[in-house]
Amino acid sequence: MTKHSAPPSLVVVDSPHPFEGVCSALQAAIPAHGFGLLTVHDLADTLRSKGIGFREQCRIFEVCQPQHAARVLEADMALNMALPCRISVYTQDGQTRIGMVSPVVMFSCLSTDPQLQTVAAEVEATTRAIIDTAAAAGRPA
């Protein structure tokens, strides 16, 4: 598992494991770290079903930790548009990657409220742990 060179607004980790294995490992890591899985969007299948010859794999996992979400919404209800958190598993040129938009960077663009920065830092620490766990534990499904 290696950190991928990405802009600071993105957290991207390369995994040596197959796409399906990393997806399975992510589904196990989410509740193990106190988050819930809301839904999974298979973006690659959706594109292919629309007749687009998309060759890569891409699944977007929407995750939430209710106490953190409530703190964000209590501080600024308009920030519902930044929720829930999304973690993506995808392939790029044969490499399995897992990543997300940095909650700290995203919320620093949306609010100057120090409480929200604290929540964003807590969420980012946990979602990074989820990503690292899934990237390391991925195995064939």
Rounded to two decimals, what is the model's pTM?
Answer: 0.91
Cis peptide before 84 (omega within 30 of 0): yes
Question: With bands split at pLDDT 50, 70 and 90, how would you rate the model's confidence at 7?
Answer: confident
The CA–CA distances, whole Å, from 98 to 51, 77, 121 equal 26, 29, 19
Class of domain 2-8+18-137 as given by CATH? alpha beta
pLDDT per position as a tens digit, 11-51: 999 999 999 999 999 999 999 999 999 999 999 999 999 99
pLDDT digits (tens, 9 = 90+) for 58-99: 999 999 999 999 999 999 999 999 999 999 999 999 999 999
pLDDT bin (cut points 50, 70, 90) of residue 8 is confident
3-state secondary structure the chain: CEECCCCCCEEEEEECCCHHHHHHHHHHHHHHCCCEEEEEEEHHHHHHHCCCCCCCCEEEEEEECHHHHHHHHHHCHHHHHHCCEEEEEEEECCEEEEEEECHHHHHHHHCCCHHHHHHHHHHHHHHHHHHHHHHHHCCCC
Token pair for 126: 């946990």
pLDDT at 20: 96
Determine the Cα–Cα distance for residues 1 and 4; give it in Å rounded to an integer.
9
φ, ψ dihedrals at 140, nearest 5°: -55, 135
